[in-house]
Structure 1
Amino acid sequence: MNHLELTKKVEWKDLRSLSTKEMLIENNISLPWLLISLFFAYKGYYWAALPFSGFYFLTALRQVHNGFHNSLGTGKFLTWLSMYLNSISMLASIHAVKFNHIRHHKYCLSDDDYEGKSASMKWFQAILYGPKHMFLIHWMTFKLANKNYRRNLIFELVSISVFISVAFYFQIDFLLYHIAVMFFGELLMAFFAVWTVHHDTHDNPNIARTQRGFWKNKLTFSMFYHMEHHLFPAVPTIKLPELAERIDKVLPELCKKQTF
């Protein structure tokens, strides 16, 4: 059964809408983690700040990922603003990531899927591929995208450069800590955001890996319901647990490869 046949068997369109509470959660889920991590770093407690920085990176990724698919429940400008601000804080052009992510859904794991290149590698190769992955994400956007994407790419990269320059010029230690951690996180994107959810799925790329288990999904903020996301990309992350239950009920025989 291919992914198009699967989508016809599961009710999902009602899951696209967000309540006010859900909209507020999806648009602000990364903010507490960012503020707490910066507070500890400001106080010089870098080891205490580190897990909060990690959760910020994960929740910010969830936030912008919903933005890619217009699933934040907000208008065009607020979605753009969320992606722009997270570009500065995450040290990558989020519009460049969006451009390649939309292509990833269209050309999943084919030669034209630059986001998905690391899926065919060994796990350690995917980690080492991280710097090239981030370069390609930005370069292919500049090379292939339309003028709106290129304009956002340049604007975001300039803003990131200003942010880094200010932090280094004035030697703002807690911001230098944040920059170092976010840079490290970006270098691991090819492994965590691509390899973990797509390795050994080339026979049917749109049936990506997924995750079951209450605490595993709580600790990863539902970001590893990746099969569900590929089958129904318009469904916001906050609704993916419910979508997973529907898929399990309607298609119990479906072979689901676990993320971890």
Structure 2
Amino acid sequence: MTHAEILKKVEWKDLKSLSIKEMLIENNLTIPWVLTSWVLAYLGYYILALPFSAFFFLTGLRQVHNGFHNSLGTNRFLTWFSLYTNSVLMMASIHAVKFNHIRHHKYCLSEEDYEGKSAGMSWYGAIFYGPVHMFLIHKITLQLGNKKYVKNVLLELGSIAIFTFLVFYFNIAFLIYHIIVMVIGEFLMAFFAVWTVHHDTEEHPELARTQRGGWKNKITFSMFYHLEHHLFPAVPTIKLPQLAKRIDDVLPELEKKTTF
């Protein structure tokens, strides 16, 4: 079944809009995690802070991912501001990630898809490839992006550099911890954000892997409904469980490879 045929069979356009409550959730989901991790790290409880830092990184990915597809329910400036602030907090230019992610949807797992390069690797190969992945997506955006993308990437990289300099210059221990953990998270993106959801899907790249286990989706904040996202990228993450149910009801025969 083709992508176009799936689009015709599944009702999805009503899922694009967010209520005020849903909009507030999507735009503020990161706050309790980052604040809790900072407080614990400030008090010296670095091990206890780690899971909160991990959930901040995950919810940050969810937030910017919705921003890539204009699914945060906010205006253009607030969406931009979300991408900018998360760039500084997550230690990577999110506009560079956005540029490559939009190309990923257009050229999924082809030679032009730089985000998806690790999908064809072994799991350990994708982990070792992580630092190259992060360097490449910045390089490609600066080479192929329009002036607006280049301007945003340079602004974000400059802001990250200033933030990092100030943190280390004033020796702010809890923020040094935060920077180190975020850099590690970025280096694992090729594995967690690409390989896990796309490995062994080369024959039908648009049919990414997905996750149906209830508790698994709760602890990953619905970020592994990736089949659903690739088929209907305009649907916000908070609506993906509803979308998944509609797909299962209408197309029970559709192959669904499990993420984990």
Normalised by the shorter chain, which TM-score bucket?
over 0.9
Question: Deviation of residue 3 (structure 1)?
Answer: 1.6
SS, match of residue 197 in structure 2: helix
Give me the whole-angstrom Cα distance separating, in 2, the residues matched to 1:44 and 1:152.
Answer: 35
Q: Which residue of 1 aligns with 2:71?
A: 71
Give me the whole-angstrom Cα distance separating, in 2, the residues matched to 1:4 and 1:137.
Answer: 29
State the AA in 2 paired with 1:55.
F
Q: Which residue of 2 aligns with 1:169?
A: 169
Q: Which residue of 2 aligns with 1:241?
A: 241
Q: Which residue of 1 aligns with 2:2?
A: 2
Give me the whole-angstrom Cα distance separating, in 1, the residues matched to 2:3 and 2:199.
Answer: 18
Question: Deviation of residue 241 (structure 1)?
Answer: 0.2
Question: Deviation of residue 5 (structure 1)?
Answer: 1.1
SS, match of residue 38 in structure 1: helix
State the AA in 2 paired with 1:179.
I
SS, match of residue 57 in structure 1: helix
State the AA in 1 paired with 2:52.
F
Give me the whole-angstrom Cα distance separating, in 1, the residues matched to 2:178 and 2:8.
Answer: 44
Q: Which residue of 1 aligns with 2:118?
A: 118
Q: Which residue of 2 aligns with 1:153?
A: 153
Are 1:39 and 2:27 matched, yes or no? no
Unmatched 5+ residue regions in structure 2? Answer: none
Q: Which residue of 2 aligns with 1:56?
A: 56
Give me the whole-angstrom Cα distance separating, in 2, the residues matched to 1:226 and 1:28.
Answer: 22
Question: Deviation of residue 2 (structure 1)?
Answer: 1.6
Question: Deviation of residue 7 (structure 1)?
Answer: 1.2
Are 1:23 and 2:55 matched, yes or no? no
Give me the whole-angstrom Cα distance separating, in 1, the residues matched to 2:209 and 2:222.
Answer: 13
Question: Deviation of residue 64 (structure 1)?
Answer: 0.2
Question: Deviation of residue 170 (structure 1)?
Answer: 0.5
Q: Which residue of 1 aligns with 2:205?
A: 205
SS, match of residue 18 in structure 1: coil
Give me the whole-angstrom Cα distance separating, in 2, the residues matched to 1:32 and 1:22.
Answer: 16
Question: Deviation of residue 38 (structure 1)?
Answer: 0.4
Q: Which residue of 1 aligns with 2:134?
A: 134
Question: Deviation of residue 4 (structure 1)?
Answer: 1.7
Give me the whole-angstrom Cα distance separating, in 2, the residues matched to 1:33 and 1:186.
Answer: 17
Q: How many residues align?
A: 260
SS, match of residue 11 in structure 2: coil
Question: Deviation of residue 129 (structure 1)?
Answer: 0.2
Equivalences for residues 92-103 of structure 1 within 5 A:
92-103=92-103
Question: Deviation of residue 192 (structure 1)?
Answer: 0.2
Unmatched 5+ residue regions in structure 1? Answer: none
State the AA in 2 paired with 1:65.
H
Are 1:182 and 2:178 matched, yes or no? no
Runs of 4+ in 1 over 4 A off after TM superposition: none
Give me the whole-angstrom Cα distance separating, in 1, the residues matched to 2:127 and 2:91.
Answer: 18
SS, match of residue 247 in structure 1: helix
Question: Deviation of residue 25 (structure 1)?
Answer: 0.2
Give me the whole-angstrom Cα distance separating, in 2, the residues matched to 1:199 and 1:3.
Answer: 19
Could you report, residue by residue, the CA deviation over 1:97-147 in whole angstroms, capped at 9, with x for unpaired residues?
Answer: 000000000000000000000000000000000010000000000000000
Could you report, residue by residue, the CA deviation over 1:126-184 in whole angstroms, capped at 9, with x for unpaired residues?
Answer: 00000100000000000000000000000000000000000100000000000000000
State the AA in 2 paired with 1:201.
T
Give me the whole-angstrom Cα distance separating, in 1, the residues matched to 2:140 and 2:214.
Answer: 38
Q: In angstroms, what is the RMSD of aligned CA positions?
A: 0.4
